Structure 1
């Protein structure tokens, strides 16, 4: 078994030595050192002879197995004992290890440095390492180095320089002219001057310029160089580095642009501040900047005018101290809510306390200002004096709620007060009384003395009634010569006493007749107690008191009667309330329950229709026509006549507007009670009337009120002379809107 192992080990040694010999010879041939490196040749020869020796041993030990050289081969086998086998194993391991060294040292076995000194090898490795570090540093710094030999003109670039210029190693030119060709045309001449080694001055050169890469991109370079000289001082070479500063240049350009933008924004901000200051100071309303704690930081002149303070005094106050005590807390809380983002702005009608301690009403608008970080910084307040507006609004409210002649409450306001009293009586079981007062024969004063005397008498009556009533009592003029009194917390006996007292006071009045003597009047009154459950609305109570007042007039006038809850008034109550409801329903939906009829007026002498008179009719549920005598008085009595007037006038205007052009003349005859001061219309019409049919666009004239009765009695001029009827007229026809013309007749027909 020993000889077989020995044969294998010798074979391995022979093969390893042959490989080492071949590697050395191959390296010498490749490097052309067969004649110049005898040491390497001798080393190859030693390895070759050793390889032959060990190979021969292997062959001689194997030949006996094939029947050849039996004697010598057997002897050789016997000669290789275990000691020789061990040494052959060691030799084979050394051969294999030696062969592997070529992988660790690269081309060690193929180069002239096969047996080079170890110090030189390490030096070369350090140089290569430093070169690699320099290449990496150039790549990281975006830099490159170059060298120009002034004697030969050769230009050498580092790998970093080639990378900056976008050149591959085979595309690099080694002369200056080709290198300058990469420089931007606008910078080329300057770069040649600044990097010229022959120029006077120090040997340190510097230039900043642009290059154009082969792909067309432009890069900015910062180049520094130094001229190297020989012992005689002659320039022999120039070495330098170039740094790609394109990103830095872009940053600088962006920074310059940002600085320019900042200066522009600062300029715009300064101009905006100037504009704001001008608008702030010259604003036609009060303006103030307010700190987050409510302190007035800056005010304008208009706010000083509104408050009566000067600037120094105002800027020492806060908004709460300047506000009326009833409004201060709400505004302070609003400032807190805006700071906490619970409210965007605060707009309110607000009272400020002036320097003279008087109060002024203002429209206050406060807005929160925030900085760029959306943090609150201050408030801006706009203050507009609305004292005149509020005064005007109060005047409008007074006009809407009061009678313009006497200053007393009007019907609408009185009905609201009556409704409130009824609700209070139902809830708290408290008493109260309603008085309805109507002057007796007031038409005589108007007809004989004129409306001016009538107005004076109405004013005197209003003053007299006011003097006799308590502050808690409510007095109103319902219209014409009608007054109403609301007596809270009053029983029937007290109400009767008050009514009698008021009638006596009216009877004592005397009106001067402007040199024609004087006139006296009396009044009649009806009362209704408000503690009865049957009065659910103000209309119910007014109807009851009105009926009682009519009884007083029919039993002799100048007296007061009370409404009785027995069956005496029941039919009349139901009739009145029914007619009120029917009129309201008819007026709804643009007066769908009323129609107008056009009655032609014939000029007998000429035998032609010269105009038309419009007559108002109310539609019953079954489509029958209801004459005005049935509803006009109720409409006037319970403040519905104005709506009827408006309806008729509107339809008349539409009829005239839609008709053919005609000569229209206007005239007017109304009573003082009418709220509409619109003239009746008078026009001529050349065309005949159309077939009878209701028209819905026309103007009307009313006939006088029907004769007195329980539900209708003569009381002088009506609330309006519009929309009266002309009954029993067989020639009545309906006119189309385009052909109708209207008139107010001086002697209208009556029903």
Structure 2
């Protein structure tokens, strides 16, 4: 256990932690054969974690499990009962699919434990025993308890690492990117745009409300913004009263379509009690390659947003001037 805790504390790779727990269990059960299986929560996809000269009988030429005993499917589908002992398995119909495997190796009993990783996978360990070397149930239960505790700790560590990573990149109150993460990600968008001669737009969204921002109301606004753009577009919470959006576009008018769609969505009756939305917002839009860096894009978009002087709507910055529509860019 100290070795496992040390590995967990150091944040070892998932595969390293799982391998360590496997070796620990096998050292505790020298007279049992341990089989490690992973399946999805629907119990439709099954695979062996580790293959060897004993369990290869269970696999087809493509390395997939040929069949799954009904007893194992029932067990995996019952998370409320994470441990189970089956005896006389060579004669039980629910294990009939593995009869050749069981008889060839003389396995008469199996003890099982299941642990969910809370990411859609179930990790199963099956300890097969022979009658002459069978452990007392209490001792086997201790081994299953230890294995379950190890895997729960491993998955808890994985979950904590994921949350810490997400929290470092996203504002937990809105789910939107933090400023530095947005800048890093949008920098990649600009590099791609240069490489492939594509367009991009940056939108600065200023919230008119001067009161302290309510997290629930801001989250509602963030959700609408997320629904307005595509999955690979970027949205960030820049400051308490400012949000930004970075979007890939093909034509200049695409950006104002997004801005108009956002304003229309926020005018729906469901936002009538949202003080943040009711206070109004101004949207400024700037374009790449008219501005070649994030800093110049942001300054131009912010300039366009402030030009509205706290009036709800949007303005487009183009070569130092602000316009109500892209249609005005080329008029004399």
The TM tier, using the shorter chain, reads: 0.5 to 0.7
1:455 is matched with which residue?
215
The secondary structure found in structure 2 opposite 1:477 is: strand
Shift of 1:512: 6.1
Q: 1:165-219 deviations in whole A, cap 9, x for unaligned? A: xxxxxxxxxxxxxxxxxxxxxxxxxxxxxxxxxxxxxxxxxxxxxxxxxxxxxxx
1:430 paired residue number: 198
How far apart are the structure 1 equivalents of 2:49 and 2:313? 65
**Alignment partners' CA distance in 1, 2:35 and 2:27:** 10
Which residue does 1:621 correspond to in 2? none
Q: CA, structure 1 residues 561+311, in 2 after alignment: closer, same or farther (shift >3 Å)?
A: farther
Aligned to 2:306: 550
Match of 2:156 in 1: 388
The separation in 1 between residues aligned to 2:237 and 2:317, in whole angstroms, is 20
The counterpart of 1:511, out of the listed 238, 258, 273, is: 273
Aligned partners of 1:301 and 1:311 also within 8 Å: no
2:314 aligned partner: 560
Distance in 2, matches of 1:318 and 1:429, equals 46
- Distance in 1 (CA, whole Å) between partners of 2:171 and 2:207 is 17
Counterpart position of 2:21: 286
1:355 deviates by 9.0
* 1:415 match: 183
Separation of aligned partners in 2, 1:502 and 1:456: 18
Report if the CA contact (8 A) 2:202-2:245 is conserved.
yes
SS of the aligned residue for 2:225 comes to helix
Q: What is the CA-CA distance between 1:431 and the residue it aligns to?
A: 1.4
Q: Of the candidates 510, 520, 528, which is equivalent to residue 286 of structure 2? A: 528
For residues 217 and 115 of structure 2, the distance between their equivalents in structure 1, rounded to whole angstroms, comes to 47
Go from structure 1 to structure 2 and tell me whether the alpha carbon gap of 1:394 and 1:505 turns closer, same or farther (over 3 Å shift): same
Aligned counterparts, 1:35-114, within 5 A: none
Equivalent position of 1:401 in the other structure: 169
**Counterpart among 50, 67, 76 of residue 319 in structure 1:** 50
Mark the runs of 5 or more structure 1 residues left unpaired by the alignment.
Answer: 1-284, 290-297, 305-309, 323-353, 361-382, 570-751
Does 1:485 pair with 2:277? Answer: no
**Cα RMSD, aligned residues only:** 3.7
**CA pair 469-300 structure 1, distance change in 2 beyond 3 A:** same
Kindly indicate whether the alpha-carbon contact (under 8 Å) linking 1:512 and 1:519 is maintained by their aligned counterparts in 2. yes
Give the Cα–Cα distance (whole angstroms) in 2 for the partners of residues 394 and 473 of structure 1: 22
What residue ranges of structure 2 are gaps of 5+ in the alignment?
1-19, 38-47, 56-113, 124-146, 323-332
Question: Does the CA-based 8 Å contact 1:299-1:314 persist in structure 2?
Answer: no
Question: Which aligned segments of 4 or more residues in structure 1 are displaced greater than 6 angstroms?
Answer: 315-318, 354-357
Q: Tell me if structure 1 keeps the 8 A contact 2:26–2:34.
A: no
Q: Are 1:502 and 2:262 matched, yes or no?
A: yes
- TM-score, with normalisation over the residues of structure 2? 0.52
Cα drift, residue 286 of structure 1: 2.2
Inter-CA distance 540–406: structure 2 relative to 1 (3 Å threshold): same
Match of 1:464 in 2: 224
Contact preservation (8 Å) 1:408, 1:476: yes
Which of structures 1 and 2 has the bigger CA Rg?
A: 1
Structure-1 residue corresponding to 2:26: 299
Q: Deviation digits for residues 85-113 of structure 1, max 9, x if unmatched?
A: xxxxxxxxxxxxxxxxxxxxxxxxxxxxx
**Deviation, structure 1 residue 421:** 0.6
Q: Deviations over 1:375-412 (max 9, x none)?
A: xxxxxxxx964321121011001111111211111111
Cα distance in 2, alignment partners of residues 315 and 506 from structure 1: 52
Give me the TM-score of the superposition, normalised by structure 1. 0.24
Distance 1:417 1:476 in 2: 10
Contact 1:431 1:530 in 2 (8 A): yes
**Matches for 1:616-635 after TM superposition, within 5 Å:** none
Equivalents in 2 of 1:491, 1:542: separation in Å?
Answer: 19
